[in-house]
Structure 1
């Protein structure tokens, strides 16, 4: 079946959000100055929802229109700028190590392997490079710098999933029409789920998994 998308949604960052909702823009994405978390979609409703749900007492502590609110905003903005400067100053080795983190975690996610396998993978990787290049301590240190703990792997995979979801949503909002197909599937515990696939044309026909929804009722019929 085909569905028409809503038109007229503003995807641009509004500078007024900084003073009203404590949010600034980083590389085209709205970032909360209070908790440094990003908002998935650049829409005023999403930014306001994050502010009201996660920081409900901020307007009481720093009421609009008073000097104390502006002082708090300036302090948070200074902290954010300092953090961004530190990130920009990261060495190329750190950047490559971060890329390696995501590459390995992406492979683990595609293989549907347990997150704890990332720690085993790093041990194997370090042991292999130590055996292959025993005299190359810099290479060994490079492999040691790759962060692949279970918790890190979970965060990286969640970030990858959010990025993929945002990409699918962006593609769908580029077209007026797309087709949707649904099918029942089960997870490793044999729990019924509804898989939602979307198909659209972007230079070529593309098909993406839009959502997997847990089915709590009966699946017959």
Structure 2
């Protein structure tokens, strides 16, 4: 089950109604040779199922990771906009802040394994003048 849908680990097809009969019919019609190739209760079958599950999880995280990163960059953009407004700095200073952030990140994160991911998140920060203005307007209404 993935988000209230029944997904076949082998072919990634979704079964319309997750009932035992529907699942068995799908397995017997689409994957006829699976029982012969991977006998029940065998180590080979257990390894295959484990590999299929890990492959599905990798596919799912590939789609959720960018969404999490995008959310984090938006929150960071709001926080920087708040600092600019709090200190009554011009909205053009956001480009200076981003440039400083990138330079500091390149230096401080040089030895980190995930440095490339962090730096891409920093570069994706939304700090244009209209964006900062819009963010400050949203915060003032809250």
Structure 1 length as normaliser, TM-score?
0.30
Relative to its length, the structure with more strand (as a share) is: 1
Q: Which has the larger radius of gyration?
A: 2
Structure 2 length as normaliser, TM-score?
0.46
Higher RCO (CA < 8 A, seq sep 6+): 2
Relative to its length, the structure with more helix (as a share) is: 2
